[in-house]
Amino acid sequence: MEILYASLLGFFLLVIYFYYNHKSGGNANLRPPGKTGFPVIGETLEFLSAGWKGHPEKFIFDRIAKYSSHVFKTSLLGSQVIVFCGSNGHRFLFSNENKLVQAWSPSSIDKIFQHSTKKSTSQEALRLKQMFPNLLKPMALQGYLGLMDTVAHRHFVTDWEKKDTVVVFPLAHHYTFLLGCRLFVSVEDPKHVAILEKPFGVLAAGIVSIPIDFPGTAFNRAIKASNVIRKELLVIIKQRKIDLVEGKASPTQDILSRMLSTSDDNGKFMHEADVADQILGMIVAGHDSSSSVCTSIVKYLAELPDIYQVVYQGNTLLIFQQVEIAKSKAPGELLNWDDIQKMKYSWNVACEVMRLAPPNLGTFREAIADFAYDGFSIQKGSKLYWNPNSTHRNHEFFPEPQKFDPSRFEGSGPAPYTFLPFGEGPRICPGKEFVRLQILIFMHHLVKRFRWEKLIPDEKAFYIPLPSSEKGLPIRLFPHEA
């Protein structure tokens, strides 16, 4: 009997020990709960399925509930990863950048992008920011605003006006691609844009897919598409180098010229292949995220006429909205920086759209040291992942999370590390302000011209991996009376 009591006491003390370590985050030696599924495939099918069904957050919340933990392990895109959830998890990852964790991407994504993701360290990101200050700093973006407004005006005149119905998703993709081509590599000829645009669509569809490199798979097609784009970019790069030498191109005219004209601290310039990889990665990032947000904005404004009316006409508290800004312009006069600053409510609407339909599904990290978090032991070399839906759709941070409410972004806005469409901290998206301009200029040109209605009221929404609509969001346009 004494042996039995001693055994029960020992078991009881052991339970207390593990419970204490789990809660305190002290010298933990527990591994995060979870499963990794089948080899290579892992739980990728479940992850993608949740997105295809229109509820990408379900993959995260189901596992938080199952394991009673905001940290769990899984396997995505061919790699075993530990998922950090909630604002505390986000804060830990972002505040420990290059201390305990660093940027990382699955080998499947590296295979598509080659050098462009392998060099995506914080040092490389800092170098790129230093290389292109005139594009990335908000005040310097003023120099590009007129050009962006001009491109948007031409796009709406060509592809939207004098049409009864349009399909939004491909048009939004085309709009952001036009801007990327013009501002990144100064390509504006429609035939040249078309040559680049087709393989970009194939590449985007295969970024998040089962990483099986077999002919006919989305992953295989994405690899081939990236190679096609890379070859075309190399042709552009070689010609630009000649034009720079001959004085036919400016060293500051776009990102490409800046990359070719700027050396590192040792006086070395980037190799042509590395420039092509970086341009490829940046166009994909800016093009896909912005077009996804623009499409979702059209969807929500069609479903919420009261919100649309405030964006269009304002109210007693919001004097300057899109129609007022449009009326203040003389014929042919372009948008200026003051106009953009008046679009506060429009940007609040865009932010609420990005909360409900984030333009990214998180990014990956790698542990560069052993550490403990939330009572679990994380070993050096472990692959980590965060997902914005763990906070964006969490009632703890956003009451009534399914409700569309732009007022959440008034004043100081959401709590830190809860709203993350562009990341946070050292790894915050360097193109955030550029994306903001893309979106606001799109909203301005759309809303000042039309109101609209969805042709398929119950059209299914899904994530592939970014928000999309089953039929591309067809709408009927109703031009405003002159």
Confidence check: pLDDT of 127 > 70: no
Confidence check: pLDDT of 198 > 70: yes
Would you say residue 12 lies in a domain?
Answer: no
Would you say residue 235 lies in a domain?
Answer: yes
Average pLDDT, integer, range 364-378: 95
Would you say residue 415 lies in a domain?
Answer: yes
Average pLDDT, integer, range 379-388: 95
Confidence check: pLDDT of 106 > 50: yes
How high is the pLDDT of residue 241? 95
How high is the pLDDT of residue 135? 55
Give the model's confidence band at 219: pLDDT under 50 very low, under 70 low, under 90 confident, else very high. confident
Place of tokens 């800092």: 126
Please provide the DSSP assignment of 149-210 as one string.
Answer: HHHHHHHHHHHTTT-SEEEHHHHHHHHHHHHHHHHHH----HHHHHHHHHHHHHHHHHSSS-
Domains contained in the chain, number: 1
Would you say residue 388 lies in a domain?
Answer: yes
How high is the pLDDT of residue 45? 87
Cα 326 from Cα 321, distance rounded (Å): 9
Percent of the chain with pLDDT over 90: 55
Confidence check: pLDDT of 115 > 50: yes
Give the model's confidence band at 17: pLDDT under 50 very low, under 70 low, under 90 confident, else very high. very low
Confidence check: pLDDT of 482 > 70: no
Q: Is 429 among the annotated ligand-binding positions? A: yes
Structural domain including 172 reads: 1-7+28-479
For residues 318 and 424, which has the higher predicted lDDT (pLDDT)?
A: 424
Place of tokens 């004085």: 247
Give the model's confidence band at 144: pLDDT under 50 very low, under 70 low, under 90 confident, else very high. confident
Average pLDDT, integer, range 142-152: 90
Residues 6 or more apart in contact with residue 127 via CB below 8 angstroms: 264
How high is the pLDDT of residue 120? 45
How high is the pLDDT of residue 4? 39
Confidence check: pLDDT of 10 > 50: no
pLDDT averaged over the chain?
85
For residues 104 and 212, which has the higher predicted lDDT (pLDDT)?
A: 104
The CATH number of residue 115's host domain is 1.10.630.10
Give the model's confidence band at 13: pLDDT under 50 very low, under 70 low, under 90 confident, else very high. very low
Give the model's confidence band at 207: pLDDT under 50 very low, under 70 low, under 90 confident, else very high. confident
Please provide the DSSP assignment of 250-296 as one string.
Answer: -TTSSHHHHHHH-B-TTSPBPPHHHHHHHHHHHHHHHHHHHHHHHHH
Contact between 278 and 262 under an 8 Å Cβ cutoff? The reply is no
Would you say residue 23 lies in a domain?
Answer: no
Would you say residue 19 lies in a domain?
Answer: no
Would you say residue 13 lies in a domain?
Answer: no
Least Cα distance to 141 among 362, 354, 372, 341 occurs for 341
Would you say residue 15 lies in a domain?
Answer: no
How high is the pLDDT of residue 176? 94
How high is the pLDDT of residue 283? 83
Average pLDDT, integer, range 375-381: 95
**Model confidence over 222-265: pLDDT tens digits?**
889 999 999 999 999 999 999 999 999 998 888 899 889 888 77
The Cα-based distances of 442 to 151, 327, 330 in angstroms read 10, 17, 19
How high is the pLDDT of residue 108? 74
